[in-house]
Structure 1
């Protein structure tokens, strides 16, 4: 009797498990990271007179570079671009069929002729297994650099990744770098003021209860160092104007979001997320950072970097067939135990 009850309980649990598993939607892992960095200008200490390449420097060299990488499993795509003359840069990388179609148009439309302001998409992303990323840069933050008429610079970086049926991993990242070396002419002692508009967005999603993970992150950093002369040459920033400055005086603005197993079925975001315009682009807000007083005739190196990343993973989950095999084994064990108990009773 006890064995029969055990078999009945196993059967009930098995059928319930099969029903729940069969009804479960295909797991989804999606993530996105977007940075809009716009209207970057460098002013003199008054905050209104923009630096002029033609009159304010004895030496000025600038190099911009970009790198994008995307992968799904072993398939990958990487692109790079660089410039020392300030021309427009725009690259993208993708693997798989990008979903939704509007995002596909956004990423693939990121060309040098028409750089894209990347857009926020709704999570979860279903209907495809892909990773996609883009990066672009246009303009110059210094007047008359290489004769360019542009008076500000704008950069946009974005990373997207999603899996909804393929077991494995998918990920993507973008990096935009600026390296500049400069020496002031004797009349340019004083602080520099960096002004730009920034908007960021992070989101990660995992199907409720799913055994998988999704991550997204971004960073914006500036570092200024002397290459000769006295002083430490590091940024000195009013913390009331800008809170994202570390102990070394570097400007560091970064954040990340993770949704790890078991998934909660809720889109996770961060409080640094900007508001989103009706067309999906980010609302940007102005940021101001100041340097300490710099010295004419001293050489300085400026390093700036913007990164985005998104990566997801789907792991194998039990299928109805696997549960059926397990149940058959348990029922067989129960039947065997019942026969053994009857033989022992007869022998006694």
Structure 2
């Protein structure tokens, strides 16, 4: 009988512990990734005289495209746009009710005119949503189809999850791509100048399962139109790879299971102003010498992504203890039944 009571006590304790494990604090997972890319211009070697589409290039073509995607489980929203003429592009996708209100306002305004996306305070409590938007305006080349002689581009992805049971996940990603082909009318070096800022952050409730991650990339590739080695000068900027001669500015952060319950920030996070907009820092880099009459292809891309997943299940240790307790209970029950039959 003592053994039977002990088994019942063990089982009760294990089941109690299992219940406590399953009923964690409300799981919250959030992630955001924002890139502001402003005042993009292309200059001649002096870094002062801006390239003019009417006189410095022939055969100039520009094809820009954007795509945004948002997911919450099976619910999805996607958008895309493209322009060969330097016209302003705006795309956005959302699933779920966007919180907080300031972010919802950003999305509402972005549907009308490109806006500088705001950083939000993580964790975002009480929201299951995925949202992403992308916008492009202007041109880095003067006199290109009447577009303003500088370009500003914004890309942002947000994801938030607040669930107590089951499995859920939100994902958002955005991509902005431009391909420029041109033939210089004179040999020489080009200088690229822009202001860039990024903010990447993730949060996962302490002890929670799964993950919260976010990341971004900014890429430039310049090659002869028919292919070949990259033509960016790796000595002019630390983000240009010396071998591939591609500009790559990127970072990402992940809060993986079990969650830390703390904000995890990217190494490149820009300072956030009082109105939650990003500050930007000027960067420049140069090309190697380009030959007059040769066609070149410039590829540029900005991406952001935010992804959160959460799965509230009993921990393996609790399942193991439950199994031991139940086995002990079963064994003691058999022993009691045997003693009763003998009696």
Find 2:198's aligned residue among 194, 197, 200.
Answer: 200
Partner of 1:234: 231
Instruction: Say whether residues 1:245 and 2:259 are aligned partners.
Output: no
The alignment partner of 1:11 has SS state of helix
Instruction: Please report how far the alpha carbon of residue 9 of structure 1 lies from its aligned counterpart in structure 2 after TM superposition.
Output: 3.7
Find 1:292's aligned residue among 283, 288, 306.
Answer: 288
Partner of 2:263: 267
Instruction: Please report how far the alpha carbon of residue 227 of structure 1 lies from its aligned counterpart in structure 2 after TM superposition.
Output: 2.4
Partner of 2:125: 126
Instruction: Please report how far the alpha carbon of residue 91 of structure 1 lies from its aligned counterpart in structure 2 after TM superposition.
Output: 1.3
| Contact 1:11–1:331, Cα closer than 8 Å, also in 2 | no
Partner of 1:209: 207
Instruction: Please report how far the alpha carbon of residue 10 of structure 1 lies from its aligned counterpart in structure 2 after TM superposition.
Output: 3.5
Residues 203, 89 of structure 1: alpha-carbon distance in 2 compared, 3 angstrom cutoff: same
Residues 234, 204 of structure 1: alpha-carbon distance in 2 compared, 3 angstrom cutoff: same
Matches within 5 A, 1:81-92: 81-92=81-92
Please give the alpha-carbon distance, in whole angstroms, between the structure 1 residues aligned to 2:195 and 2:247.
14
Please give the alpha-carbon distance, in whole angstroms, between the structure 2 residues aligned to 1:178 and 1:13.
59
| Contact 1:11–1:327, Cα closer than 8 Å, also in 2 | no
Q: How many residues align?
A: 337
| Contact 1:233–1:300, Cα closer than 8 Å, also in 2 | no
Please give the alpha-carbon distance, in whole angstroms, between the structure 2 residues aligned to 1:342 and 1:76.
58
| Contact 1:245–1:253, Cα closer than 8 Å, also in 2 | no
Please give the alpha-carbon distance, in whole angstroms, between the structure 2 residues aligned to 1:329 and 1:275.
53
Structure 1: tracts of 5 or more residues without a match: none
Which string of whole-angstrom CA distances, capped at 9 and with x for unpartnered residues, describes residues 177-231 of structure 1? 111110111xx211100000000111111111111211211100001111269x8
Instruction: Please report how far the alpha carbon of residue 4 of structure 1 lies from its aligned counterpart in structure 2 after TM superposition.
Output: 2.5
Taking structure 1 as the reference length, what is the TM-score of the superposition?
A: 0.88
Which string of whole-angstrom CA distances, capped at 9 and with x for unpartnered residues, describes residues 255-280 of structure 1? 11112211111111121111111111
Partner of 1:14: 15
Matches within 5 A, 1:44-83: 44-83=44-83
Find 1:308's aligned residue among 286, 292, 304.
Answer: 304
Instruction: Please report how far the alpha carbon of residue 159 of structure 1 lies from its aligned counterpart in structure 2 after TM superposition.
Output: 0.4
Runs of 4 or more off by more than 6 Å in structure 1? 326-329
Please give the alpha-carbon distance, in whole angstroms, between the structure 1 residues aligned to 2:280 and 2:121.
20
RMSD across aligned positions (CA): 2.7
Instruction: Say whether residues 1:173 and 2:173 are aligned partners.
Output: yes
Structure 2: tracts of 5 or more residues without a match: none
Partner of 2:143: 144
Residues 61, 338 of structure 1: alpha-carbon distance in 2 compared, 3 angstrom cutoff: closer
Please give the alpha-carbon distance, in whole angstroms, between the structure 2 residues aligned to 1:60 and 1:272.
34
Residues 31, 244 of structure 1: alpha-carbon distance in 2 compared, 3 angstrom cutoff: farther
Instruction: Please report how far the alpha carbon of residue 330 of structure 1 lies from its aligned counterpart in structure 2 after TM superposition.
Output: 4.5
Taking structure 2 as the reference length, what is the TM-score of the superposition?
A: 0.90
The alignment partner of 1:33 has SS state of strand
Residues 331, 82 of structure 1: alpha-carbon distance in 2 compared, 3 angstrom cutoff: closer
Instruction: Please report how far the alpha carbon of residue 316 of structure 1 lies from its aligned counterpart in structure 2 after TM superposition.
Output: 3.8
